Amino acid sequence: MYQNQQLTSQLIQLKNTIDDAKAILEWHKLKVFEKSSSPSSRVFFQDDTIQQLTDKQAAFQTLWIKTTMLLQDKTINLSRDKRIEFQKELNKLSLQFYYLGSDVRIY
């Protein structure tokens, strides 16, 4: 049962990482819009969007690997159907992160 809870928790963490990355992209869009609408601003802020997204990508990939390894562990007590269900959700989240910022939507 512990592994089931761990898998659920990791999937929630992956979803939260995607939400964080979406928020970073939205802030970046806002910064670009404000900069283009008032280019005379004399205050220049360092744009660390790329670094933030890189950090989120690394966190996502690390957790994705841990989750995949846990799903592949044959010693955990998980039914075949439950394992398939977790794998489908993991694949969906992976695609959502991959297409983040594009017009492609994965449901």
Q: Where are the domains of the chain?
A: 2-40+47-98
Q: Taking Cα atoms as reference points, which of 27, 42, 18, 22 lies closest to residue 93? A: 18
pLDDT at 39: 64
Looking at every residue in the chain, the average pLDDT score rounds to 89
Query: For 76-107, how does the pLDDT look when each residue is reduced to its tens digit (9 = 90+)?
Result: 888 999 999 999 999 999 999 999 988 888 87
Cα distance between residue 19 and residue 10, in whole Å: 14
Query: Greater confidence, 6 or 36?
Result: 6
Cα distance between residue 67 and residue 73, in whole Å: 10
Pick the CATH number of 2-40+47-98 from 1.10.10, 1.10.132, 1.10.390, 1.10.3470: 1.10.132
